[in-house]
Structure formats: structure tokens, C-alpha cells
């Protein structure tokens, strides 16, 4: 039986702009004993460390690990809701990368319903307890930060290069001053109030 674990996490659920990003990271546990760095939840390491880890996994082709990144697109978030879109995107990432014998651990409380052939569990704060989930968290975080930085090049007034699209005071002030952009999630507060 394989002792591969697939860790799954999402980034951008609470952001006011753009896609939510999901990553599924597959490896054995012994991978993390061989790495030139330690893995932690993406929120507990700095930007430089996150980018070094991201670049390592992206550039080193290694049969001992693989990962899959999926997008929960803004238009789907507006049409369905963020919860459904996250679960759908997690399901796609898992089905793309996992084998039936893998143990799959999702950060949080919820599990997609269409994964019957897999061994799936959810764990609150898994990104701080399970190496594969921590790795997924880092990959999703850096990928999304790069994506939001590209959006910032089109809409620099909202300082997405600093706030990653979250509702900081400066971001909300910019929305009050300039209105919303095409990249804002129109079903999110306070944006939905502004467009009624």
C-alpha cells in the first residue's frame, strides 16, 4: 500500500478580488527529511521563505512529489458562492493528482462529496500539522500572490501589491474613492452594497 499523502489547501477565500487558488500536494512523509528547508504553514513564514520553497518545488522535477494548482474563478464565486467553488476546485485538484491508495488530508472542516473512491479526511489547522498541507498552502499562497500582482498592474489604485485583495483600510478607502474594478467579487461585502 502506498504511503503517499495528498495535502490540500486553499488561499484567497476572504479576498475581495480575483480567483481563489487551491493546491493539492502529493508526497511521502520522508520527502521532508531531505529538503534544504523546513515546511511550515504559509502564514508563519515570510515572503522570501515562501518564494524560495515555491521555486524549489516548481523547478526541481522529482518523482517523490507532485502538485496540482486549480483556480476557483471569480465569475463562479459570484454565480455559486465561495464555499461551493472551493469544494469543486479541491475535487478537481485531487482527482487530477491522487491515486486511490493515497491518504488525502484537506485543511478545514469540509470535504467535497464526489470523492468516494478516495480515502479523504479533513483537519482543522492541517496546514500547521501536516507537511503536505503546509506545502500546498505555500504553493497556493505564492501562486495567488503572483496572480494578484498581475491584476495590480491593471488596477494600481487599490494597492493589491500590498493587501493581496483583502479588505484592508486602504483598499476599502480606495473602493469608496474610485468605485469597484472588473476584478472585484461583486457578491462580497461591502462591494455588493455599493452596486445595488
Return the domain boundaries, the chain.
5-154
Query: DSSP per residue over 82-142, as a string?
Result: HHHHHHHHHHHHHHHH--TTSEEEEESS---TT-TTSEEEEETTGGGT-HHHHHHHHHHHH
For residue 175, pLDDT over 80 is answered with yes
Torsion of CA 161, 166, 168, 173, to 10 degrees: 80
Nearest-5° Cα angle at 137, 185 to 190: 20
Per-residue pLDDT band for 42 (boundaries 50, 70, 90) equals low
Which pLDDT does position 192 carry in this prediction?
86
What would the grid cell of residue 12 be? 484567497
Q: Does position 1 have pLDDT exceeding 60, yes or no?
A: no
What does the alpha-carbon distance between residue 6 and residue 105 come to, in Å, rounded to a whole number? 6
Q: Which fold has domain 5-154?
A: Nucleotidyltransferase; domain 5 (3.30.420)
3 state DSSP class of 6: strand
Per-residue pLDDT band for 196 (boundaries 50, 70, 90) equals low
For 77-126, the pLDDT digits (tens) are 999 999 999 999 999 999 999 999 999 999 999 999 999 999 999 999 99
On average, the pLDDT of the chain sits at 93
192: part of which helix (H) or strand (E)?
helix 191-194
CA separation, residue 144 to residues 114, 132, 163, 194 (Å): 26, 18, 12, 26
Mean local confidence (pLDDT), 33-38: 84
What is the grid cell recorded at 2? 502506498
Amino acid at each position: 500500500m502506498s504511503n503517499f499523502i495528498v495535502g490540500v489547501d486553499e488561499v484567497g477565500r476572504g479576498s475581495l478580488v480575483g480567483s481563489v487558488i487551491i493546491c493539492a500536494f502529493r508526497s511521502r512523509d520522508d520527502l521532508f527529511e531531505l529538503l534544504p528547508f523546513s515546511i511550515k504553514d504559509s502564514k508563519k513564514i515570510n515572503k522570501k521563505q515562501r518564494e524560495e520553497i515555491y521555486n524549489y518545488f516548481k523547478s526541481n522535477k522529482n518523482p517523490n512529489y507532485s502538485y496540482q494548482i486549480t483556480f476557483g474563478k471569480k465569475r463562479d464565486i459570484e454565480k455559486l458562492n465561495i464555499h461551493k467553488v472551493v469544494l469543486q476546485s479541491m475535487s478537481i485538484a485531487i482527482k487530477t493528482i491522487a491515486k486511490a491508495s493515497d491518504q488525502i488530508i484537506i485543511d478545514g472542516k469540509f470535504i467535497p462529496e464526489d470523492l468516494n473512491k478516495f480515502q479523504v479526511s479533513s483537519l482543522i489547522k492541517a496546514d500547521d500539522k501536516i507537511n503536505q498541507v503546509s506545502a500546498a498552502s505555500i504553493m497556493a499562497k505564492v501562486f495567488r500572490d503572483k496572480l494578484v500582482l498581475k491584476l495590480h498592474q491593471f488596477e494600481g489604485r487599490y494597492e493589491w501589491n500590498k493587501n493581496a485583495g483583502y479588505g484592508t483600510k486602504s483598499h476599502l478607502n480606495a473602493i469608496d474613492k474610485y468605485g469597484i474594478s472588473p476584478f472585484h467579487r461583486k457578491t462580497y461585502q461591502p462591494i455588493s452594497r455599493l452596486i445595488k
